[in-house]
Amino acid sequence: MTIQWFPGHMAKARRQVTEKLSLIDIVFELVDARIPASSRNPMIDEIIKNKPRLLLLNKADMADPKITKEWLEYYKENGVHALAINSQAGNGMKQIVSESKLILKDKFDKMAAKGIRPRAIRSLIVGIPNVGKSTLINRLAKKNIAQTGDRPGITKSQQWIKVGKELELLDTPGILWPKFEDQEVGLKLATTGAIKDTILNLQDIAVYALRFLEENYPEALKDRFNLEEIPEDIVSLFDEIAKRRGSMMSGGLIDYDKTAELIIREIRTEKLGRLTFEQP
């Protein structure tokens, strides 16, 4: 999957979400708990308008629990309904249903008062690529409907998935684009694996990640790479990591690309523990 968004793609993605909005009661906006701001679509408010929304911080199992709590408090203070979930393990699935019922209580009460027969809440998942949309759909459906990972999905007509008696979900999610203009946002998306490495320079990503770790998670950095102290300059830090891991070229020169790749891979596979890259 290479994400190359062009204005045409963006317009199409936007149109597809807009078309589905009329069918549903609530939008589940999926973001990555490690980068709750950077993994949002910059135009989401404009696209969704005043359709009721539940923000889902997915991959919470990979995020720093302390900061996730801060994000949830921040959303609460700002009147945003939000939950931290783990779609892979299925944590938070029941809360999605109960929170949706709460958000839509007034609407459904009014419908009942008009004598309209009670029905299930209709929902749609939206989010940027790789945030876990297909994984969440499969979790809620309790079977494999959507393709996960890097494989391209097979296009088929959309259908409603029943999630118990109270919720229905469109089986094709709305795919949105991330923010690209901001360099730091791009680096965060790359560090967490939301966008392919080929878009940005591998060493740039690793330098960003190391500086971030140095600042925010120095102990994790030291522990993982057996460092007594973190060297002042970034090249020395690279060198130390490379030497410890033997990522050298012939002649004893440091292989910086290989070292960068190793650093990024270990962050993505949680070898440095649970990390969050931005705070509210």
Ligand X SMILES: Nc1nc2c(ncn2[C@@H]2O[C@H](COP(=O)(O)OP(=O)(O)O)[C@@H](O)[C@H]2O)c(=O)[nH]1
Of residues 40 and 59, the one with the C-beta less far from ligand X: 59
Q: Could you give the angle at the alpha carbon of 205 between the alpha carbons of 179 and 191, nearest 5°?
A: 60
Of residues 133 and 139, the one with the C-beta less far from Mg ion: 133
Q: Which residue, 191, 167, 189, is CA-closest to 178?
A: 189
According to the binding rule CB under 6 A, does residue 62 interact with ligand X? Answer: yes
According to the binding rule CB under 6 A, does residue 206 interact with ligand X? Answer: no
Among 68, 134, 191, 247, binds Mg ion (CB under 5 A): 134
Residue 155 beta carbon to Mg ion: minimum distance, rounded to whole angstroms? 12
According to the binding rule CB under 5 A, does residue 135 interact with Mg ion? Answer: no
Of residues 39 and 134, the one with the C-beta less far from Mg ion: 134
Residue 253 beta carbon to ligand X: minimum distance, rounded to whole angstroms? 34
Give the range of 55-63, 203-211, 227-235, 243-251 binding ligand X by CB under 6 A.
Answer: 55-63
Pairwise CA distance, residues 259 & 277, whole Å: 21
Pairwise CA distance, residues 39 & 186, whole Å: 10
According to the binding rule CB under 6 A, does residue 274 interact with ligand X? Answer: no
> Total residues at the site for ligand X (CB under 6 A)?
17
Query: Could you tell me if 259 and 253 are in contact, meaning their C-beta atoms sit under 8 angstroms apart?
Result: no
Cβ-count burial 146-165 (b if 16+ within 10 Å, e if not): bebeeeeeeeeeeeebebee
Instruction: Give residue 91's Cα distance to chain centre.
Output: 15
Q: Other C-beta atoms within 10 Å of 117: how many?
A: 6
Q: Which residue is nearest to ligand X (CB)?
A: 132
According to the binding rule CB under 6 A, does residue 131 interact with ligand X? Answer: yes
Pairwise CA distance, residues 113 & 133, whole Å: 35
Count of H-run helices and E-run strands, the chain:
11, 7
Q: Other C-beta atoms within 10 Å of 229: how many?
A: 8
Residue 266 beta carbon to ligand X: minimum distance, rounded to whole angstroms? 15
Residue 59 near which of Mg ion, ligand X, none (CB within 5-8 Å, type-dependent) = ligand X
- Interface with ligand X in residues 84-123 (CB under 6 A): 86-88
Residue 61 near which of Mg ion, ligand X, none (CB within 5-8 Å, type-dependent) = ligand X
Return the structure tokens found at 224: 């993982």
- Written as one letter, the residue type at 129 is P
According to the binding rule CB under 6 A, does residue 149 interact with ligand X? Answer: yes
Residues with Cβ within 8 Å of 45's Cβ and at least 6 positions away in sequence, in order, are: none
Residue 130 beta carbon to ligand X: minimum distance, rounded to whole angstroms? 5
According to the binding rule CB under 5 A, does residue 58 interact with Mg ion? Answer: no
- Interface with Mg ion in residues 94-133 (CB under 5 A): 133
Contact footprint for ligand X (CB under 6 A):
58-59, 61-62, 86-88, 127, 129-135, 148-149
